[in-house]
Amino acid sequence: MALASTAVGTRRRRRGALAPAMLLVPTGVVLLAIIGWPLIQLIIISFQEYGRAQVFGRPPEWVGLQNYIDVLGDPFFWDVLGRSVLFAAANVVLTMVIGTLVALLMMRLHRFFRLLVSVGLLLAWAMPALTAVVVWGWMFDTQYGVINYVLSLLPGVDLIGHSWLIEPLSFFAVATIIITWQSVPFVAFTVYAGLTQVPDEVLEAAQLDGAGAVSRFRLIVFPYLKSIFLVVTILQVIWDLRVFTQIYALQGIGGIREQTSTIGVYIFQTSLGTGDFGAGGAIAVILVIVMMTISLYYVKKSIQEETL
C-alpha cells in the first residue's frame, strides 16, 4: 500500500502518513489470507490435474487449459448453467414484480394495514434461509404436508401422497416459491422507501391531466426510481444466480441431484463430492468472472456515491 502523502499538504494529510497504514493492517492481513490467497490457489488449481490422488500427496500436474476445455465441452455443464440462468431469471422477475406491487400497495394502505404488511414481510425476511427451506419442505410434505391437504379440499383434487420435489419442474417451482417469499420483503421495502421520495405534486398534476395508474407509474414513478430498480435487480441477479443453501437443502428433503443442481451446488458436487478439484476450480473461476461482470454496475454506482 503506497501511503506517501499527497502533494496538497493540509494538516490532516501530512500527519496521517503512517497512521492509516497501521489501521488497515488487520483487515489487509485477514482479506489477503482468507480471500486473496485462496483465490490465487483457485486459479492455479483450475490449470492443474487435481483429484483424490493429489489430495493424498501426489504432486499435481499442470494441464494448461484442459480443465476449461473439459468443462466447456461437457453438455452437463451447459445444462446446469442454462438451468441456473433460467431459474435466476424467473426468480428475479417474480421477485421484482411482486415486490414492486407490494410497495405500491403499501403506499395506498391506511396505517394499520401498512403496519400489518410490514410485520409480515419482516418476519419472512428474518427467517434464516435454511430454516425457511426446512419449514416449506414440511409444508410441501408428500403425506402430511398442509399444502397437499388444503389443495385436496378443492373438489376433484386429490394430492395426498403427491411428491412436489421428485419432478424437476415442480422442484424448481417449490424453490422459486421459497426464494421469492424470502426476497420480496427486501424489494418491497426498498421500492417503498423510494416511492415515498416521489413528490406528490407531480403525481397529482398527472392525475388531473388524466393519467391513469398505469401511465403514472410508467411515466413518473419509474423514471424517478430507475437507479433503485437497477441496483436492486442486480443484487437479486447476483443472489439468485449463486443460490446454494435453498437448492442443496431442498435436494436433501427429496429432489434428484442430477436434474436439479444449479451452478453453486454443481461446484460443490464436482469438487467435494466427486473429488475433481481441477474441474471444480475451473467452473468456480468461470462463475467468479460472470459474477464480477454482472456486479460492475453496482460497484461503479457505489464508488460514485463515495467520491461525492
Partner 1 sequence: MSAVIARPVPAPAIAPAKGAGPRRAMSTARLKRRLWGIVFSAIAVVVFLVSVFPVYWMINTSLLPNNLIRGPEPHFWPDELTFRNYELVLFGDTRAPFLPALGNSLAVTLLTVMVALLFAFLAALAVTRFRFRGRKAFILTILVIQMIPGEAMIVSTFRVLDSWQLLNTIAGLTLVYVATVLPFTIWTLRGFVNGVPIELEEAAMIDGCTRTQAFWKVTFPLLAPGLVATGVFAFIQAWNEFLLALVVMSRPEMMTLPVWLRTFQQATQTTNWAAIMAGSTLMAIPVIIFFLIVQGRMTSGLVAGAVKG
Residues 246-305 that bind partner 1 (CB under 8 A): 248-249, 252-253, 263-264, 267-268, 271-272, 277, 280-281, 284-285, 287-288, 291-292, 295, 298-299, 301-305
Residue from 63, 117, 173, 198 touching partner 1 (CB under 8 A): that is 117
Closest by Cα among 278, 244, 234, 206 to 41: 278
Contact 215, 249 (CB under 8 A): no
Closest by Cα among 249, 232, 294, 242 to 93: 232
Least Cβ distance, residue 73 to partner 1 (angstroms): 20
Rounded distance, CA 27 to CA 62, Å? 33
Least Cβ distance, residue 63 to partner 1 (angstroms): 17
What's the N-to-C CA distance of the chain in angstroms?
23
- Cα-flanking dihedrals φ and ψ of residue 241, to 5°? -70, -35
Beta bridge partners, 62, equal: 48
Least Cβ distance, residue 21 to partner 1 (angstroms): 8
Q: How many CA atoms lie within 13 A of 177 on its CB side?
A: 15
For Cα atoms 103, 242, 299, give the angle at the middle one, nearest 5 degrees: 70
Distances (CA, A) of 286 to 166, 264, 278, 293: 30, 11, 13, 11
Contact 84, 263 (CB under 8 A): yes
Residue from 230, 256, 273, 274 touching partner 1 (CB under 8 A): that is 230
The reply on whether position 217 binds partner 1 by CB under 8 A is no
The DSSP result for 281-294, as a single string, is HHHHHHHHHHHHHH
Q: How many residues bind partner 1 (CB under 8 A)?
A: 120
- Positions in 8-47 near partner 1 (CB under 8 A): 12-13, 15-17, 19-21, 23-24, 26-27, 30-31, 33-35, 37-39, 41-42, 45
The reply on whether position 58 binds partner 1 by CB under 8 A is no
Rounded distance, CA 242 to CA 262, Å? 8
Residue from 47, 96, 141, 260 touching partner 1 (CB under 8 A): that is 141
Residue from 167, 186, 224, 259 touching partner 1 (CB under 8 A): that is 186
Of 61-69, 71-79, 104-112, 162-170: span binding partner 1 (CB under 8 A): 104-112
Distances (CA, A) of 296 to 231, 286, 291, 303, 307: 11, 16, 9, 11, 17
Residue from 123, 157, 202, 256 touching partner 1 (CB under 8 A): that is 123
Least Cβ distance, residue 256 to partner 1 (angstroms): 17
x/- site string to partner 1, residues 60 to 89, per CB under 8 A? ------------------------------
Residue from 72, 244, 257, 259 touching partner 1 (CB under 8 A): that is 244
Q: For residues 69 and 146, which CB has a smaller minimum distance to partner 1 in the complex?
A: 146
Residue from 78, 93, 144, 157 touching partner 1 (CB under 8 A): that is 144
Secondary structure (3-state) at 263: helix
Least Cβ distance, residue 52 to partner 1 (angstroms): 13
Q: How many CA atoms lie within 13 A of 300 on its CB side?
A: 9
